[in-house]
């Protein structure tokens, strides 16, 4: 087993400069969700140079297969997302975004280049493992309805059907060389809330002649929190937040309406639907009781993300083999959302976090900020680790190690 790990690490080190180059190219040429045409073309070309036959899916998605010996024995899918964010980059680096107002601020350039690195490593070993690796380069993670949902609808989890799906995501709270992982429910569902409260505007000095929608909206914001504090099971995480309130009046003008936007997140699909009903009833009923009206639109977002426990246990064990147990960190539940959740709802899946902060504290900016960047070391660790996790999950490959080591690997 150690021989195989050493070989994978050598391949990852050998290709690290190329992987970093891929990442810097992608970082310099970011594209927004569902507009990843040049990115998909770049990925397709790199895969073809490796001798693979990539195919388009969901317009700007790409899928390719790496077939080992006995390719029908087992299939493992690996996912990397490709889209960028509408953020103006502030990093002064040679690979700074050349697309004004668009930036890879969530590390999807790392995910894409890392998956290309995995492809390179595994194509070098395709005669030494059994099964098939399905590479999924996904568009539109950052925008509803989520590229994962579209690719699944178009058959990405069929022909061949994977036994498991693995995904990784950058994590600046951990140093490069470490990963974070959690079994079971990990990330939240996310729904977008759009409310319009309508009343009757007028002069602020004559409130008796008006029906103040600002006051009604304020009551709704406060009262809605009881859905979380008094309706939700206290053992079940739920978040209800309003981040946008527009009451376009003035110091002495009560507006006719107030517009609000918010989000609701939780980790249970049944409670999610129940909470929607409570929220709708509360908003409409409270507005009516105060003489106003309220229109609530709930846009269903991603489901909650669940890491299948047995698969996650295998991934954890394999990661400890590759990185050392001290470098595999237990994560807390997180109320952010990820459309990898669609894969976790459709198949056994495991989504883990890849450390990207430098040991000296550099590259610590959070994702979704204009100064986000990663330690290049992560571009060596990420591909090598994912390649190892894939081989362990395929559960059968030829080695020059002893028969005992091979048997241990096959039954991990």
CA–CA dist 105, 189 (Å, integer): 22
Asked if residues 197 and 254 have their Cβ atoms less than 8 Å apart, the reply is no
CA–CA dist 185, 323 (Å, integer): 24
Rounded to the nearest angstrom, the gap between the alpha carbon of residue 123 and the centroid of all alpha carbons in its chain is 26
Respond yes or no: is residue 31 known to be catalytic: no
Q: For residue 400, how many C-alpha atoms fall within 13 Å in the half-sphere facing its CB?
A: 6
Q: Which two tokens stand for residue 100?
A: 């004004």
Respond yes or no: is residue 83 known to be catalytic: yes
Kindly name the residue from 36, 81, 83, 308 that is annotated as catalytic. 83
What does the H/E/C string look like for the chain? CHHHHHHHHHHHHHCHHHHHHHHHHHHHCCCECCCCHHHHHHHHHHHHHCCCCCEEECCCEEEEEEECECCCCCEEEEEEECCEECCCCCCCCCCCCCCCCCECCCCHHHHHHHHHHHHHHHHHCCCCEECEEEEEEECCCCCCCCHHHHHHHCCCCCCCCCCEEEEEEEEEEEECCCEEECCEEEECCCEEEEEEEECECEECCCHHHCECHHHHHHHHHHHHHHHHHHHCCCCCCEEEEEEEEECCCECCEECCEEEEEEEEEECCHHHHHHHHHHHHHHHHHHHHHCCCEEEEEEEECCCCEEECHHHHHHHHHHHHHHHCHHHEEECCCECCCCCCHHHHHHCCEEEEEEEEECCCCCCCCCCCCCCCCCCCCHHHHHHHHHHHHHHHHHCCECCCCCHHHHHHHHCC
Kindly name the residue from 81, 130, 141, 338 that is annotated as catalytic. 141
Give catalytic residue positions.
83, 141
């Amino acid at each position: 087993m150690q021989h195989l790990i050493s070989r994978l690490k050598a391949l990852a080190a050998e290709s690290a400069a190329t992987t970093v180059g891929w990442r810097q190219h992608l970082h310099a040429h970011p594209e927004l969700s569902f507009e990843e045409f040049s990115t998909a073309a770049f990925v397709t070309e790199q895969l073809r140079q490796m001798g693979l036959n990539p195919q388009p899916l969901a317009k700007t998605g790409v899928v390719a297969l790496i077939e080992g010996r006995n390719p029908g024995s087992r299939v493992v899918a690996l996912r990397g997302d490709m889209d960028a964010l509408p953020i103006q980059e502030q990093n002064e680096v040679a690979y700074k975004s050349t697309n004004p107002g668009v930036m890879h601020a969530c590390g999807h350039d790392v995910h894409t280049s890392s998956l290309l690195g995995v492809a390179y490593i595994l194509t070098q070993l395709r005669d030494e493992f059994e099964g098939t690796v399905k590479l999924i380069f996904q568009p539109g993670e950052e925008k509803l309805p989520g590229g994962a949902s579209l690719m699944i609808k178009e058959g990405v989890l069929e022909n061949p059907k994977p036994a498991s799906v693995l995904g990784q995501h950058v994590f600046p709270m951990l140093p490069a060389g470490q990963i974070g992982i959690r079994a079971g429910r990990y990330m939240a569902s996310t729904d977008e809330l759009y409310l319009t409260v309508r009343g009757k505007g007028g002069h602020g000095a004559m409130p008796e002649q008006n029906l103040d929608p600002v006051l009604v909206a304020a009551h709704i914001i406060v009262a809605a929190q009881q859905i979380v504090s008094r309706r939700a099971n206290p053992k079940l995480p739920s978040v209800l937040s309003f981040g946008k309130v527009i009451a376009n009046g003035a110091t002495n003008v009560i507006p006719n309406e107030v517009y609000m936007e918010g989000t609701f997140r939780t980790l249970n699909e049944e409670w999610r639907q129940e909470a929607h009903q409570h929220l709708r009833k509360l908003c409409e009923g409270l507005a009516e009781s105060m003489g106003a009206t309220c229109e609530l639109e709930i846009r269903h977002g991603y489901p909650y993300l669940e890491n299948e426990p047995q698969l996650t246990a295998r991934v954890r064990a394999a990661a400890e083999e590759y990185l050392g147990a001290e470098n595999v960190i237990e994560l807390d539940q997180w109320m952010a959302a990820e459309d990898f959740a669609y894969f976790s709802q459709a198949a056994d899946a495991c989504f883990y976090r890849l450390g990207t902060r430098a040991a000296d504290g550099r590259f610590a900016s959070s994702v979704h900020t204009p100064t986000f960047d990663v330690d290049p070391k992560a571009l060596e660790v990420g591909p090598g680790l994912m390649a190892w996790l894939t081989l362990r999950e395929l559960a059968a490959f030829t080695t020059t190690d002893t028969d005992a080591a091979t048997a241990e690997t096959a039954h991990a």
